[in-house]
Amino acid sequence: MVRVKICGITDVEDALVAARYGADALGFVFYPKSPRYITPDRAARIIREIPPFVAAVGVFVDPTPEELERVIERCPLDYVQLHGAETPEFCRKVRHQLGKKVIKAFRIKDESSLE
């Protein structure tokens, strides 16, 4: 099964177009150094407008537990996507303590990274 996530959503219009064309999930980047960064309050306003069958994914890079909690309190996310050097233990903690499904991104330099 293939699922499609459109990442870097920053406005309602883009979110609705992505949903209309079949996106299964929309990604909201909470990494301040990203040009696609969005505040939790703005993301929450957009998420309230998207259809219920479209998942909201918060994208983070090496967040602190406090940062995750602060965003999750203000923004109704279905998933947390982690793009930094987060450990498996940290990912499990997010899932169990914050009650969110976790997507972990891995960096692969070359074929030897897969071993």
C-alpha closest to that of 7 among 21, 27, 23: 27
* Domain count across the chain: 1
What is the C-alpha to C-alpha distance for residues 98 and 96, in angstroms, rounded to an integer? Answer: 6
Can you give the pLDDT at residue 7?
95
The residue assigned the tokens 């998207």 is: 50
Q: Region 58-75: what's the mean pLDDT?
A: 94
What does the pLDDT look like over 69-86, one tens digit per residue?
A: 999 999 999 999 999 989
User: What is the average pLDDT score of the chain?
Assistant: 93
The 3-state DSSP composition of the chain as helix, strand, coil percent (nearest 5) reads 35, 20, 45
- Lowest pLDDT segment from 14-23, 63-72, 98-107: 98-107
What does the pLDDT look like over 3-19, one tens digit per residue?
A: 999 999 999 999 999 99
Which range of residues forms the domain containing residue 20?
5-114
> In this structure, what CATH number is given to the domain that contains residue 101?
3.20.20.70
Two tokens, residue 63? 């967040």
